[in-house]
């Protein structure tokens, strides 16, 4: 169990669910209550059927760059799982009870996002205060500022994912075709567009993460340029929703995704070539 692995000195502890539906609410509570009892234990990666806990005992193991990776992965997981809920092919995997549980699981990931954001801010403050630490970590004040802004933007993406989950539950009746698996492609332009936007947001986030990892400034610029026309696209989406009175409330989902797209564009703008 977790306690035994921790006491034996393992640095990485991976917990997997034996259920195809993922961890139950009770299992999630048990895991979270367990790891919070041990100093240095942090969930650094998680999926529907897996949680990876790392025992962090030093600044090096908990440096801002590594924490940024975790923030990217967590928010990407939230976007991907929301996209799965809105994707008719993936929605078939859920019944109504597991659908509601999945919504709550996604929202719970934001707690980890907020926790990692706090850790990043704390580490960045330490770097600002200690010039020798900056030299050891090969990070200058400009990069510290970039990380601070990026982490805030990623935390904002997590918050928007939570709001999207709340809206999906709120507008459940409007999205009933998706939820009840009766949806046929091209049968509803608003739902088609929403599915497309959710998938594109996930891919945009994944591409932004790749550019960040690889310090790929050219890719970041390309991503930014590709999405400069988003404002016009989303204006069309808003108009589409308002043209259907019975589904006009769904427009708020597009507003949330627009915020996410804007945050990702801002992150791309902060990505710089690797400094040798």
**What are the tens digits of pLDDT across the range 156-178?**
999 999 999 999 888 877 666 66
> Which range in 35-44, 85-94, 189-198, 261-270 is most confidently predicted, on average pLDDT?
261-270
8 Å CB contact between 157 and 265: no
Scan for tokens 């928010």, then name that residue.
75
What the block records as the tokens of 231 is 């404002």
Residue 201 contacts by C-beta under 8 Å, 6 or more apart in sequence? 79, 83, 257, 260, 261, 264
Domain annotation for the chain: domains and CATH numbers? 1-57 (no CATH), 58-270 (1.20.58.220)
Main-chain phi, psi angles of 97, to 5 degrees: -70, -50
159: left (phi over 0), alpha (psi -120 to 50) or beta: alpha
Best CA proximity match to 149, nearest among 42, 209, 68, 203? 68
In residues, how long is the chain?
276
The predicted model scores a pTM of 0.78
The per-residue DSSP string of 138-158 comes to T--HHHHHHHHHHHHHHHHHH
pLDDT level of residue 191 (50, 70, 90 thresholds): confident
Scan for tokens 């988003």, then name that residue.
230
Provide mean pLDDT across the span 234-262. Answer: 83
Percent of the chain with pLDDT over 70: 80
Best CA proximity match to 87, nearest among 156, 181, 21, 22? 181
Please state, in angstroms and rounded to a whole number, the distance separating the CA atoms of residues 121 and 144: 10
Please state, in angstroms and rounded to a whole number, the distance separating the CA atoms of residues 7 and 66: 24
pLDDT level of residue 276 (50, 70, 90 thresholds): very low
Provide mean pLDDT across the span 41-46. Answer: 73
Alpha-helical regions (H) of the chain: 2-7, 25-35, 64-86, 88-91, 96-129, 131-137, 141-170, 176-179, 189-213, 217-226, 230-242, 251-270
pLDDT level of residue 113 (50, 70, 90 thresholds): very high
8 Å CB contact between 271 and 211: yes
């Amino acid at each position: 169990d977790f306690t035994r692995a921790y006491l034996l000195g393992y640095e990485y502890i991976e917990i997997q669910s034996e259920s195809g539906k993922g961890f139950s609410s009770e299992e999630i509570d048990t895991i979270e209550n367990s790891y919070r009892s041990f100093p240095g234990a942090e969930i650094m990666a998680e999926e529907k059927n897996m949680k990876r806990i790392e025992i962090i005992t030093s600044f090096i193991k908990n440096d801002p760059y590594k924490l940024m990776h975790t923030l990217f992965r967590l928010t990407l997981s939230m976007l991907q799982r929301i996209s799965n809920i809105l994707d008719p092919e993936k929605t078939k995997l859920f019944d109504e009870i597991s659908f509601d549980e999945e919504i709550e699981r996604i929202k719970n990931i934001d707690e980890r996002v907020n926790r990692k954001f706090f850790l990043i801010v704390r580490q960045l403050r330490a770097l600002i205060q200690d010039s020798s630490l900056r030299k050891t970590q090969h990070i200058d004040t400009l990069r510290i500022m970039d990380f601070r802004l990026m982490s805030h933007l990623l935390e904002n993406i997590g918050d928007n994912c939570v709001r999207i989950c709340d809206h999906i539950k709120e507008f459940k009746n409007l999205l009933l075709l998706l939820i009840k698996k009766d949806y046929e492609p091209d049968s509803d332009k608003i739902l088609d567009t929403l599915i497309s936007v959710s998938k594109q947001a996930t891919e945009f986030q994944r591409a932004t993460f790749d550019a960040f990892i690889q310090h790929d400034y050219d890719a970041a610029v390309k991503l930014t340029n590709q999405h400069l026309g988003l404002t016009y696209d989303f204006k069309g989406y808003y108009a589409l929703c308002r043209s259907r009175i019975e589904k006009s409330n769904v427009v708020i989902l597009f507003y949330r995704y627009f915020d996410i797209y804007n945050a990702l564009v801002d992150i791309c703008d902060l990505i710089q070539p690797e400094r040798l």
